[in-house]
Structure 1
Amino acid sequence: MDFGIAGRKAIVCGSSRGLGRGCAEALAAEGCTVVVNGIDPDRLTRTADEIARQTGATMIPVAADVTTPDGRAALMAAMPDPDILVTNAAGPPPGDFRQIDNAALHLGVEMNMATPIALVQAVIDGMIERGWGRIVNITSASVMTSIVGLDLSSGARAGLTAFLGGVARQVAPHGVTINHLLPGMFDTDRQTSLNRTTAEKQGITFDRAVANRVAGIPVGRLADPSEFGAACAFLCSDKAGFITGQSLLMDGGAFASNF
């Protein structure tokens, strides 16, 4: 299927690895020029070079912390008029909600709610003026179903979802869509880190920690970031212009809900 986005310009935050990289790869494969972003310059350069070789797309690496005003400014300087924005930022580490103090609370909201809102504010008027735009926010399955220990991340990302619900309807008449991708357990560095933490706390092996998590996924495996990227590319496509204000849960059926 031709997604109709060849030649479009995309900013993909947090895309030097993991789910963000999966999105960058998929958009590059569709013929987009892609700004890739991360805080490790060496890893970012390797990622940009690898995707460029694989796809032939133009890749623009921007080493910056997207959760800071300077980092966001660097992204916009590299591509002032993106057609596509994929927001993504690391979540707070897992922990007991009793231990979340005011500083940690504000930092979590800054990372997973205020940062993507600021990016949307930076690109939305240009998209409206051009009559076309796609915004996809990488949030979490915990927006729909609670995950113990990720309370701060869940709350901030749920706040983002609610905040942009009305915005999505406001900008829809101008050809701009805003949607959310909610990942469950994907084979990423963050998932590896969570499994290691679980193994240490429970006194079990890493492999057992992974097996325990997989046991709760009906499809019986962790997902590959390329699957996530394919869904992202679809939501960014011309074919998805009638989808907006939606949250697509990608968790292998782990959340047992009929609706």
Structure 2
Amino acid sequence: MDLGLRGKQAIVCASSKGLGRGCATALAEAGVSLVLNGRDETVLRATAQDIRARFDVEVQEVAGDVSDRAIQDALLAACPEPDILVNNNGGPPRRDFRELDREAILKGVTQNLVTPFELIQRVVDGMAERGFGRIVNITSLSVYVPIEGLDLSSAARAGLTSFLAGIARGVAERNVTINNLLPGKLDTDRIRSAFKAGAGTEEENKARIAADIPAKRLGTPEEFGQICAFLCSVQAGYMTGQNIRVDGGLYPSAF
């Protein structure tokens, strides 16, 4: 399917690896020019080089923490008029809620609520003026299903979801959509650390985790990215304010 995105420009946050890279790759395949971001400059450069080599699109790199206002400024300097914004950021580490102090709480909320909202504030009016905009926020299945030890991450992402629900509907008539992708158990560095932490081998622990998923496997960043690219497409213009679970059927709900 031609997504109608050739020649568009996208900022993809935290895109040097994992789900962000999956989204960036799928957008590049659709002909979108990219501004990539990641904390590790070496990993970011390698990702950019790989995408340039595979697809005939421009790829710029902005290394650093996307929660840093200077890095946000650099992203917008590299792409002043983005057609697409993919918000993504690392979440707080697993921690018992009793161990959270105010500094840790504020950092988690900044990472997973304030940062994406700040970027949306800076790009949404320009998108509306130009008559096209696609904003996709990578949140988490934990918005629906509490995960022990990730309470701060869940709270911040749920807060972002509620924050944007009305905003999405306020810009829909200008062909600007805001949707959220909620990954379940996908094969990323974060879940691979669980393979290593278990009592068995990495393969045994991976199989144990996959056994709880109706699809009986982990999702991949590549297929996650293709869903993101569709949400950014011209065909998805009538779809906004939605939470799309990408979890292999893990969340047991008919609605």
Q: Give the corresponding residue for 1:70.
A: 70
- Identity between Structure 1 and Structure 2 (%): 53
Taking the aligned partners of 2:14 and 2:63, their CA distance within structure 1 comes to: 10
Residues 252 and 208 (structure 1), Cα distance of their counterparts in 2 relative to 1, 3 Å cut: same
Equivalent residue pairs, number:
255
Q: Give the corresponding residue for 1:242.
A: 238
What is the TM-score of this pair, normalised by structure 2?
Answer: 0.97
Shift of 1:41: 1.1
Taking the aligned partners of 1:102 and 1:82, their CA distance within structure 2 comes to: 35
Tell me the secondary structure at the aligned position of residue 239 of structure 1.
helix
Shift of 1:196: 3.0
What is the TM-score of this pair, normalised by structure 1?
Answer: 0.96
Counterpart of 1:15 in structure 2: which amino acid?
A: S
Alpha-carbon displacement from aligned partner over 1:120-142 (angstroms, at most 9, x marks no partner):
00101110110110000000011
Alpha-carbon displacement from aligned partner over 1:97-149 (angstroms, at most 9, x marks no partner):
11111111111000000000001001011101101100000000111111111
Question: Which runs of 5 or more residues in structure 2 are unaligned?
Answer: none
Alpha-carbon displacement from aligned partner over 1:146-191 (angstroms, at most 9, x marks no partner):
1111111111000000000000001111110000000011111111
- Superposed, 1:51-66 pairs within 5 Å as 51-66=51-66
Tell me the secondary structure at the aligned position of residue 31 of structure 2.
coil
Bigger mean CA deviation after superposition, 103-112 or 204-213: 204-213
Shift of 1:204: 4.0
Contact 1:64–1:74, Cα closer than 8 Å, also in 2: no
Tell me the secondary structure at the aligned position of residue 172 of structure 2.
helix
Cα root mean square deviation, aligned: 1.0
Taking the aligned partners of 2:114 and 2:213, their CA distance within structure 1 comes to: 31
Contact 2:195–2:201, Cα closer than 8 Å, also in 1: no
Candidates 204, 210, 227, aligned match of 2:206: 210
Counterpart of 2:117 in structure 1: which amino acid?
A: I
Shift of 1:71: 1.2
Residues 183 and 239 (structure 1), Cα distance of their counterparts in 2 relative to 1, 3 Å cut: same
